[in-house]
Amino acid sequence: MAQQTEDRADEATIRAIATAEAGRPGALMPILVAVQRRFGWLPPATVEIVADVLNVSRADVAGVASFYADFRIEPAGRLVVGVCRAEACQAAGGEALAAYAEERLGCGFGATAADGSATLDAVYCFGNCALAPAASVGGRLIGRASPERLDAAIRAETER
Ligand code: FES
């Protein structure tokens, strides 16, 4: 019962977000961005509600939501860690950092640890190439990232 009430509240929030943006040209992307910012992912009701508000097909909304890797169609773990897999970071030791992140978090890229503690994202350039390799922990950018610095940032975030 509590879950149903929560789901209905979420659906009302999604509808309010979509309605507020619906008059803008190209409203679909800003709506999906706003929904994800609010929930941390795109809850399943998003596609139907946004399609209804914008008067487009569900396939149109689902196509955009699934095309862009930045949109999550499943909830993320409690901590989101990103490691840059692009060229400048690869050349600066990014592969070792990536391997460490997988081992430390207990999941591969694009996945969430079984206990829900963390999600590991591959990022293709943070725009921080001068300080490669780059990573992010809980949205905070780390330059010249090493396993030790990544570990310290993860501990700091999880102890908050
Ligand atoms: S290539 Fe990694 S931050 Fe640009």
- The predicted-structure confidence for 30-81, as pLDDT tens digits, reads as follows 999 999 999 989 999 999 999 999 999 999 999 999 998 889 988 999 999 9
Q: How many angstroms is it from 83 CA to the middle of ligand 1? A: 9
Could you read off the pLDDT of 115-135 as tens digits, one per residue?
999 999 999 999 999 999 999
Ligand 1 and 86: CB distance under 6 A: yes
Ligand 1 and 97: CB distance under 6 A: no
Q: What angle do CA 54, 15, 39 make, to 5 degrees?
A: 115
Ligand 1 and 128: CB distance under 6 A: yes
Q: How many angstroms is it from 21 CA to the middle of ligand 1? A: 32
Ligand 1 and 125: CB distance under 6 A: yes
Model-level pTM greater than 0.85? no
